[in-house]
Amino acid sequence: MSSGFLVAIPVFNEEAYLSEVVREVRRYASEILVVDDGSTDATPRLLARERLTAVVRHPENRGYGASLASAFCYARRHGYRWLITMDCDGQHEPSLIPAFEQVAAGDAYDIISGSRYLEPNPNDDQPPADRRAINGRITRMLNERLRMSLTDAFCGFKAYRVGMLNRFRVTVPGYAMPLQFWVQAWRAGLRIVEVPVRLIYNDPNRYFGGHLDDADSRLAHYVRVFETELGAAPVAVNTPDDCELRTA
């Protein structure tokens, strides 16, 4: 059983970035979990070559939220203190992992969330206009409705105190999962801080899939998830055995 940090990387068809990202993460983390969300490209073959702590495989593509739910469950069942999540598309810099660990070591927060807008860098990339606009609207909504002080609602580069993951019930499988997460974190009274990360867009043409590729539909979906979660019953504190490890 470990008592340290686990870095979890959700992947879906990331053959172009996987090997380089894992190689870089290994420079800063000794324990790495990859959640393969039903990849159909060369990702499974590439993963078989990597030295990883574990690979969780979904038999089919279930979505970003489902991948994080598997990572949460794995970290809880294996006794880690902190779980750091990051994407596999080159948008998150592994060199910042020690910065998250340093904040975590202060033991003052439960959620350490990366923000691409906390300290803007003139050398940062420019996100697609619809993504920046939606992020801004959703971030303002969270701040106004939940009295939070976020600057970036959707950054997936985060550190979670594993002992607090029993306050979450992830039922939203896709990209709207952060709306469910923020409501549950607010309701549980968790201590949240943002840390600056770079704004990097290697492929601004990547799509969400289906109706979410339409910006208006995507925004409406996010708001529906938020309102639904806001009206839901509080999450009951649960044990690691209660979580669902979404493996094949």
Mean pLDDT computed over every residue of the chain: 92
For residue 179, the model assigns a pLDDT of: 97
For residue 2, the model assigns a pLDDT of: 55
Band (151; pLDDT cuts 50, 70, 90): very high
Band (206; pLDDT cuts 50, 70, 90): low
Contact criterion met (CB below 8 Å) for 58 and 38: yes
Residue with tokens 């339409």, as numbered in its chain:
214
Band (1; pLDDT cuts 50, 70, 90): very low
Band (204; pLDDT cuts 50, 70, 90): low
User: Could you give the CA distance from residue 34 to residue 18 in angstroms, rounded to a whole number?
Assistant: 10
85 three-class SS: strand
Paired with 107 in beta bridges are none
Does the structure show a pLDDT above 90 at 240?
no
Tokens in use for 241? 């055995």
User: Could you give the CA distance from residue 181 to residue 113 in angstroms, rounded to a whole number?
Assistant: 12
Does the structure show a pLDDT above 60 at 248?
no
Longest dimension (CA), the chain: 47
Question: Does residue 211 or residue 44 have the better pLDDT?
Answer: 44
pTM for this entry: 0.92
Q: Which domains does the chain have, with CATH numbers?
A: 5-235 (3.90.550.10)
Q: pLDDT digits over 23-43, tens only? A: 999 999 999 999 999 999 999
Sheet with 32-37: list strands edge to edge: 54-58, 32-37, 5-11, 82-85, 158-161, 111-115, 192-196
Band (159; pLDDT cuts 50, 70, 90): very high
Contact criterion met (CB below 8 Å) for 71 and 34: no
Q: pLDDT digits over 93-113, tens only? A: 999 999 999 999 999 999 999
For residue 47, the model assigns a pLDDT of: 97
Q: What is the DSSP letter of 128?
A: P
Question: Does residue 129 or residue 50 have the better pLDDT?
Answer: 50
Does the structure show a pLDDT above 60 at 3?
no
- Residue 54 parent element (H or E): strand 54-58
- State the average pLDDT over residues 68-82: 97
- State the average pLDDT over residues 182-188: 97
- State the average pLDDT over residues 126-147: 93
Mean pLDDT is lowest, of 72-81, 140-149, 175-184, 238-247, for: 238-247
Angle formed at CA 140 by CA 138 and CA 142, multiple of 5 degrees: 70
**Percent of all residues in the chain with a pLDDT value above 70, rounded to a whole number:** 93
184 three-class SS: helix
- State the average pLDDT over residues 212-217: 85
Residue 103: which residues within 8 A CB-CB, separation 6 or more?
109, 112, 159, 193, 195
